[in-house]
Structure 1
């Protein structure tokens, strides 16, 4: 890519993980603020595990930044069922020589003011230290998750609170995780995922600061807990909500969605999307379709071909078979006057900010939660993997801004239950309460990002650290 750096500007290097678009997007929004508001120069250095990189390139190319994709490294020797907590750090370990070489090159041409690494990439802090470059973690998920990570007992603890006999985990404040809501990576303190999680959290302590994509008023108890750790952890900088902004590239097929929404009544449409990689099983996919049909409400559904492994699509290409082939017979014809089904990228932020959108069924990724909050859209929480079940607890029990699905004894969310939830969210009493709560949170988020807001002040503090100034 053609150089886009100003040698007179503070130079920040960002290290997101490979493949995970949900991590890259907050990095991009963070970089855009640095470039456009504070005249920084930004360079993205992206490790590569051999996954397709076209989607990442498409997001980065329009930006006034440099981006470099490192040579692919293989993790084929890892067990096939290795979780993301194992896969990602191993990719970084095997990319360290290339990271070292690139940082050395960039630092010679334009002195690096700071290295900002993803929550899966703290091993790169050691490389930054070799060049005396300050290193920061960009924690793109909740402060509650970060607080939990710093409170995890070491694996050798014989009475681990989070061992495989644990039935609940207490989060910051009064929130409690019950049984299956505990993330898989910390459910059993004897497995490798737990050990890698502990190692990552311990390495966060080596950073010069931790930038969090959240805001004080959203997760007050979590930030209070982090503050109580004092000097044992780095300074915490809440700068969120940083969410994907609209762009001129949001054309077809996104324009089809917006044109369709333009024809719908205010707050009448339920938007359904499970993010960039999560998938439903065939049976659950069918139940969701039938539940939407039973509800009789308008819907905009982004479909993905079902897979039995919920997270498989994060790490592999989509199946050749179209997701439309899995829909119930006659579904599209029966719902053509009420619903729109798409199987490709859509402009989610535009959809959530549209006046016709009245609710959002989401897997509770942190980006999706922040987008819902910023736009004041009430949520049906349907968590599937990773820390998403914990996010659902934050959203429902903590913030009172969502209604959560319930699975039957076989782990299936049934069509009748789905229909009832849709009706409740769009026109029921509980739905009205959730709508009011989301509207309140929308105003709080706007205040956090205002000129004198908590997140703006925190962002300026980071900028001052990197520029060596006291005024911005």
Structure 2
């Protein structure tokens, strides 16, 4: 059972199925997703939620870039500074979940002990928060991501391309700037840019994404022809996801097939 929809990853789904047809010893695949988190009632008490959602309520439709690199990833100080300058120079509205930098690598997973009360001004460029106060909001550590991505003010998502975040964004029709940090995220980012056509990439391979490139990526996503194309494609895929999850949709059918095969004491071929 895999957390995807066949239409999102046709090549990845097709290859092992062809292997089975050729006699390879590969188990059948059941794309039963996307299993995405819905609104969690426990989030209501989290710090910053009310403020950021109220702030989004005041922004024009589709005008805000949500910037969040996951619950575990951190950037080193140099890269964090370049990201901040790039966001400021882009001239676009943003909601940024800024995590304290890690000092010894480009990206780390739970590299430092952190606190939701960390003062973001201690690691962002001097005066950044004050200069961007009219167009941006910076949150330390956490934001209610599902609610944010569902908000009509959100027009794009700068993401680390973790699979959960990817599915949450696609399910809500939000195009992305793909900024992977580690593990399978780099593969996901290539797929989002080159196969799905819902993201613009950055050249993370160079080791440091400069502020000029950050600003350019934001403008490409949020403005003009390319951004409009990405939004249209993201909207199309969100409908694919909704259809798969609806009653008698493909995901429901796959689960039913799997359960039926269990009841008969065998594994069905899909």
Common topology (TM > 0.5)? yes
Alignment of 1:214-363 (within 5 A): 214-230=4-20, 232-251=25-44, 252=46, 253-307=48-102, 308-310=104-106, 312-314=108-110, 317-318=113-114, 322-363=119-160
Map 1:365-404 → 2, pairs under 5 A? 365-404=162-201
| Distance in 2, Cα, partners of 1:247 & 1:374 | 17
Compare CA radii of gyration and give the structure with the larger one: 1
Deviation at 1:402, TM superposition (A): 0.5
Q: SS in structure 2 opposite 1:341?
A: strand
Distance in 2, Cα, partners of 1:315 & 1:236: 35
User: Matched residues in 1 for 2:186 and 2:17: separation?
Assistant: 25
Normalized against structure 2, the TM-score is what?
0.89
Map 1:42-61 to 2 at 5 A: none
Measured at CA, do residues 394 and 260 of structure 1 come closer, stay the same or move farther in structure 2, by a change above 3 Å? same
State how far apart, in whole Å, the 2-side matches of 1:305 and 1:322 are.
9
SS of 1:218 mapped into structure 2: coil
How far is 1:242 from its partner? Answer: 0.5
Runs of 5+ in structure 1 lacking a partner?
1-210
Counterparts in 2 of 1:443 and 1:244: CA distance versus 1, 3 Å: same
Query: 1:408 Cα shift?
Result: 8.0
2:34 alignment partner, SS class = coil
- 2:227 is equivalent to residue 437 of structure 1: no
Indicate if the aligned counterparts of 1:378 and 1:402 stay in contact, CA closer than 8 A: yes
In 2, are the aligned partners of 1:271 and 1:300 still within 8 Å (CA)? yes
- The CA deviation at 1:315 is 6.2
- C-alpha distance in 1 between matches for 2:208 and 2:111: 24
1:323-345 Cα distance to aligned partner (Å, 9 max, x none): 43110000111011111100132
- Matches of 2:40 and 2:118 in 1, distance apart? 30
Which residue of the other structure, out of 218, 227, 251, is the alignment partner of 1:422?
Answer: 218
Tell me which moved more, 445-454 or 327-336. Answer: 445-454
Partners of 1:373 and 1:448 in 2: CA distance: 13
Residue 318 (structure 1) shift: 2.8
Q: Measure, in 1, the Cα distance between the counterparts of 2:110 and 2:250.
A: 34
**2 CA distance for matches of 1:311 and 1:282?**
10
Q: Is the 8 A contact 2:180 2:204 kept in 1?
A: no
What is the match of residue 213 of structure 1? 3
Counterpart Cα distance in 2 of 1:234 and 1:352: 35
TM-score of the aligned structures, taking structure 1 as reference length: 0.52
Q: Any conservation in 1 of the 2:100–2:114 contact (CA below 8 Å)?
A: yes
CA positional deviation for 1:421:
1.3
Q: Is the 8 A contact 1:291 1:418 kept in 2?
A: yes
